[in-house]
Amino acid sequence: MPKRASGRTVGGLRSLSLQAPAVTLLLLWMLIPLGMTLWFSFQHYNLLMPGEPSFVGLENYEYLFTDPSLWRAMGNTLLMVGWILVISVGGGTLLAVLFQQEFKGRGIARVLAISPFFVMPTVSALIWKNLMMHPDNGVLAWLTESVGLPAIDWFSWVPMTSVVIIVSWQWLPFALLILLTAIQSLDEDQVEAARMDGAGPVDIFRFITLPHLKRAISVVIMIEMIFLLTLFAEIYVTTSGGPGLATTNLAFLIYIQALLDFDVGMASAGGVVAIILANIVAIFLVRLVARNLEE
């Protein structure tokens, strides 16, 4: 018995020594930027005056939380994330059910439906801005004018809707890919038995398909939420946060403070707020996914 215990101890120490470099590197990778962000959030540090940093305590946070632009940016962030999740997850679920059916050219249709996810965000935004939504030469302007309606200046009249459409177009294929993979594991015998009992397509979707996809939907929401909270490229390319603050989210507000106003201290305080918000959302989503996995 003592020999076995000693063997287990030596094995555990050897395993710990092998894991220590990777764990240490990971901790440094996370803690150093976080520590610097916290430090600068308590400093008055402007890039135009780099030699004059000074400790100001909570002054940056006080100014930030009394600035209406912060609450507008947080509201825009939640609004964008909410609508994009509704469109991408809802549309992805319906498309997954559709592409599960047998029809001619299904393989090609699946590839075409998933391909937008592999387009870079900047390229995607440029395509929509200059090719699809341009008020003079865009495809959507041509379609509206062909039926006698005036062209829509998307980024001036409905900027938030424009950004939501662009990002949803990019993330819907991701939801489709995950949900289509999940729906392929659905027991066809169960579906066939439901049909024999008189269940229609709506009842099968509501009581069999949707409960089966619940875990996959939770994972899709969690992954998309993490990336959508830091949405930046599409806003920068299309609206630059405008008109005014109409499409300024929290990530873009931090960019404005850091690289347009050159206020590193204020931007760092905004970064801390963003970290806290992301962790609150992550805790909620992890619990949601864990609850679905236990069922």
Domains and CATH numbers, the chain: 60-294 (1.10.3720.10)
Question: Angle 190-191-195 (CA atoms, 0-180°, nearest 5)?
Answer: 115
What confidence score (pLDDT) does residue 126 get? 94
Cβ contacts of 47 within 8 Å, gap of 6 or more: 262, 263, 264
Look at residue 3 and tell me whether its pLDDT is greater than 60: no
| Average pLDDT of span 232-236 | 94
- The encoded tokens of residue 202 equal 């709506």
What CA–CA distance (Å, rounded) separates 88 from 234? 16
* pLDDT at res. 146: 92
H or E segment at 54? strand 54-55
Mean residue pLDDT across the chain: 87
What's this model's pTM, rounded to 2 decimal places?
0.86
Q: Which of 125, 40, 92 is nearest to 223 (CA)?
A: 92
Identity of the amino acid at 37: T
Q: Residues 225-244: what's their mean pLDDT?
A: 92
Confidence of residue 170 (pLDDT cuts 50, 70, 90): very high
Q: Tell me what the mean pLDDT of segment 47-69 comes to.
A: 85
* Per-residue model confidence (pLDDT) at position 193: 85
- pLDDT number for residue 232: 94
User: Using one digit for the tens of pLDDT, what is the confidence trace for 174-231?
Assistant: 999 999 999 988 888 888 888 888 888 888 888 888 888 888 898 898 889 889 998 9
Q: Can you give the pLDDT at residue 32?
A: 87
Does residue 163 have a pLDDT over 90?
A: yes
Higher pLDDT, 288 or 230: 230
What end-to-end distance do the CA atoms of the chain give, in Å?
A: 41
Return the minimum-mean-pLDDT range out of 10-24, 35-49, 99-113, 118-132.
Answer: 10-24
Dist. CA 238–CA 122, nearest whole Å:
9
pLDDT at residue 263 tops 60: yes
Q: Looking at residues 21-36, what average pLDDT do you find? A: 85
Of the ranges 51-60, 80-89, 207-216, 278-287, which is most confident? 80-89
The two three-digit tokens of residue 91, written as one number = 């549309």
Tens of pLDDT, residue by residue over 70-126, are 999 999 999 999 999 999 999 999 999 999 888 888 889 888 998 898 899 999 999
Q: Is the pLDDT of residue 141 over 90?
A: yes
So what's the pLDDT on residue 39?
92
Q: Which two tokens stand for residue 252?
A: 């873009």
Whether 1 shows a pLDDT value over 60: the answer reads: no
Looking from the CA of 159 toward its CB, the CA atoms found within 13 Å total 19
pLDDT of residue 23: 81
Structure tokens at 197: 């009992």
Rounded to whole angstroms, how far apart are CA atoms 180 and 218?
A: 14
Distance CA 195, CA 243 (A): 52
Lowest mean per-residue pLDDT among 26-30, 155-159, 253-257: 26-30
Burial of 197 (0-12, 13-18, 19+ CB in 10 A): exposed
